[in-house]
Amino acid sequence: MTERKYFGTDGIRGRVGESPITPDFMLHLGWAVGQAFKRDGQPNSVLIGKDTRLSGYMFESALESGLSAAGVDVKLLGPMPTPAIAYLTRTFRASAGIVISASHNPHEDNGIKFFSAAGTKLNDGLETEIERWLDKPVQVCEPSALGKAFRVDDAPGRYVEFCKSTVPNEFTLEGMHIVLDCAHGATYQVAPKVFHELGARVSVIGADPDGLNINLNVGSTHLDALRRAVAEKGADLGIAFDGDGDRVLMIDRDGTEVDGDELLFVIASQRHRAGTLKGGVVGTLMTNLGVELALLDQGIEFERVKVGDRYVMERLVQNGWMLGGEGSGHLVLRDCTSTGDGIVSALQVLLAVRQSGKTLTDLRSAMTKLPQTMINVRVGDRFDPFSRPDLAAAVDRAEAKLGTTGRVLLRASGTEPLIRVMAEGQDEAMIRQVAEELAEKVSLSRP
């Protein structure tokens, strides 16, 4: 497959003002997207949503101009969670959806994510097609065929109702006190409404965006603020979203962090007990081995894929399964939505809590995470570590040493010249020794 120039593991991302995150590139990108998705003789429209970064205004205007030049109508949603754009792209029967966001990164960064008409992440072929158009100069269509722009004023309300529709009508959060951390990001308007309208007593932090404070010491990558708020308010639990709302982590009532691996286990186990799991569970190469062992102990199938929610979704579709996710809190529930959704995932965890009659503490305690050691080895150029016979042999020896209750992983970073060395098992001292030995091998073997 042709190597892509701009697209990374999740769209296009970088520092604002540095190529390709510039206004002129975004105008060109809007035009290229319009060309790639335009269908002759059919109505063509693209939705644009964004998080709360100040630079979002600039890039929204540039993308709008490029799409209009391609003869494509634009529907502007304003600040909305990434999964909301996926949902609204489907409901508006749009050609595609665009999200202006750099997720959990600071405000200095920004990026672009895309959704197909079905509300799913683009496959490699579509990304390559967009890049093919980026290699061509912008050509404005006939003035009479230019695209128009419309603002969708009821987008937040539509999405709130969608989130509520993913749980049973009789589901209620009455009697539960929840603290929400919206990361000063895209969930700040809609998340409090969802949980309040379902009956919870809601306290909110991280819901005062100023364009510069997104993810700043709040949100799913900075849990201390939420941990303090849960303790101070005596809440039942805390829910933390990232800047664009496609991830969720939680804080238990005792202040313990509950990560994506544990949330995935909680949902899967309760669905299994209720007979609603519909197949197995998909994790990634980084999913804690404790999840796999605990699920297998219940008779639940488990498979791993490359890191990235798009790969989780692809395997779920292939298998006809419904549930998968990553430790970062990016969970995929195919029977609820077409992409990772922090609010919807949180509701599924709370549904498990209510259905089981247990606390989140009780549910997460049924699975024990195994100790894990990660070492990043910097290399001159990225390379496939398994292309080196000496490293492949070293991995075989390490796995034999750890046995059936441990594993090792060598993985090239998709964004940096790093080889990630991970070891996991029951004996913490042994896995650290194994990881250090492998890291030394990688260091000696690098180009």
Beta bridge partner(s), residue 408: 423
**Token pair for 33:** 């997207």
- Answer whether 281's CB lies under 8 Å from 319's CB: no
**442 vs 393: CA distance, rounded Å:** 12
CA 253, 105, 45, 42 dihedral sign is negative
Strands (E), 80-163: 96-100, 109-116, 149-151
Residue 279 is inside which H or E element, if any?
none
- Answer whether 350's CB lies under 8 Å from 340's CB: no
Model pLDDT for residues 336-391, shown as the tens digit of each residue: 999 999 999 999 999 999 999 999 999 999 999 999 999 999 887 767 787 788 88
Neighbour order of strands in the sheet with 372-378: 372-378, 418-424, 407-412
Q: Is 156 helix (H, G, I), strand (E, B) or coil?
A: helix
What number of other Cβ atoms are within 10 A of residue 388's Cβ? 17
What number of other Cβ atoms are within 10 A of residue 365's Cβ? 13
Among 130, 96, 132, residue whose Cα is nearest residue 114: 96
**58 vs 112: CA distance, rounded Å:** 13
What number of other Cβ atoms are within 10 A of residue 358's Cβ? 16
**Phi-psi sector, 279: left (phi>0), alpha (psi -120 to 50), beta:** left
> What pLDDT is stored for residue 416 in this prediction?
67
| Backbone φ, ψ for residue 301 (5° rounding) | -65, 150
Q: What are the chain's domains?
A: 12-153 (3.40.120.10), 158-256 (3.40.120.10), 258-340 (3.40.120.10), 372-445 (3.30.310.50)
**300 vs 288: CA distance, rounded Å:** 16
- Answer whether 281's CB lies under 8 Å from 321's CB: yes
12-15 and 109-116 beta bridge pairing: antiparallel
Neighbour order of strands in the sheet with 201-205: 201-205, 177-181, 237-241, 248-252, 257-258
> What pLDDT is stored for residue 402 in this prediction?
87
Answer yes or no: 269 catalytic.
Answer: no
Which residue positions in the chain have pLDDT lower than 50? 1
| Backbone φ, ψ for residue 274 (5° rounding) | -85, -5
> Looking at 103, 116, 338, 345, which residue is catalytic?
103
- Answer whether 97's CB lies under 8 Å from 246's CB: no
**146 vs 71: CA distance, rounded Å:** 4
Residue 414 is inside which H or E element, if any?
none
Among 134, 148, 133, 138, residue whose Cα is nearest residue 71: 148
> What pLDDT is stored for residue 131 in this prediction?
96
